[in-house]
Amino acid sequence: MSAAQNKAVLIGVSGVSSSGKTTLARLLRDIIPNTFILHEDDFYKTDQEIPVNQDGLQDWDCLESLDLDSLDKALDFIKIHGYLPPNLESKEDKNAVGESGVDKKRVTELKEAAQKTLGATSDVPVFIIDGFLLFSQEMQHIRKLFDIKLFLRADHKTVKQRREARTGYVTLEGFWEDPPGYVDSVVWANYAKDHAFLFEDGDVEGKLKDGLCEELKIDMAPLEVQGNMTACMDWAYEKISGHLSKRATQ
Q: How far apart are CA 98 and CA 171, in angstroms?
A: 19
Instruction: Of 86-95, 163-172, 177-186, 197-206, give the lowest mean pLDDT range.
Output: 86-95
| Predicted local confidence at residue 92, as pLDDT | 59
Q: Please tell me what DSSP assigns to residue 58.
A: B
**Proportion of the chain above pLDDT 70, given as a percent:** 92
Highest mean pLDDT, choosing among 62-66, 90-94, 113-117? 62-66
CA 17/CA 189 separation, integer angstroms: 11
pLDDT at 99: 64
More confident residue, 171 or 72: 72
Whether the pLDDT of residue 33 is over 70: the answer is yes
Residue ranges per structural domain of the chain: 9-248
Is 42 a catalytic site residue?
no
Residue 22: pLDDT over 60: yes
Q: What average pLDDT score do residues 128-142 get?
A: 96
In this prediction the pTM is: 0.92
- Return d(Cα 63, Cα 175) in angstroms, integer: 20
pLDDT at 121: 65
pLDDT of residue 100 exceeding 80, the answer is no
Q: Concatenate the DSSP letters of all residues of 100-128 into one string.
A: ----HHHHHHHHHHHHHHSGGGTTS-EEE
**Nearest CA among 202, 240, 203 for reference residue 221:** 240
Q: Which amino acid is at 5?
A: Q
Computed over every residue of the chain, the mean pLDDT equals 90
In whole angstroms, give the CA distance from residue 78 to residue 88.
12
pLDDT at 21: 95
Return the higher-pLDDT residue of 122 and 40.
40
Lowest-pLDDT choice from 8-12, 119-123, 179-183: 119-123
**Per-residue pLDDT tens over the stretch 73-89:** 999 999 999 999 988 87
Amino acid (1-letter code) at residue 177: E
Q: What is the mean pLDDT of the segment spanning 54-60?
A: 92
Higher pLDDT, 130 or 92: 130
Residues 209-232 have pLDDT tens digits of 999 999 999 999 999 999 899 999
The separation between CA 194 and the C-alpha centre of its own chain, rounded to angstroms, equals: 15
Is residue 206 exposed (0-12), middle (13-18) or buried (19+ Cβ within 10 Å)?
exposed
- Please compute the mean of the pLDDT values over residues 5-30 and round it to a whole number: 93
**3-state secondary structure at position 167:** coil
Average pLDDT over residues 106-127: 88
Q: Which of 30, 41, 184, 194 is catalytic?
A: 41
User: In the structure, what pLDDT confidence band is assigned to residue 1 with cuts at 50, 70 and 90?
Assistant: very low
Classify 208 as helix, strand or coil: strand
Which of 3.40.50.1820, 3.40.605.10, 3.40.50.300, 3.30.70.270 is the CATH number of 9-248?
A: 3.40.50.300
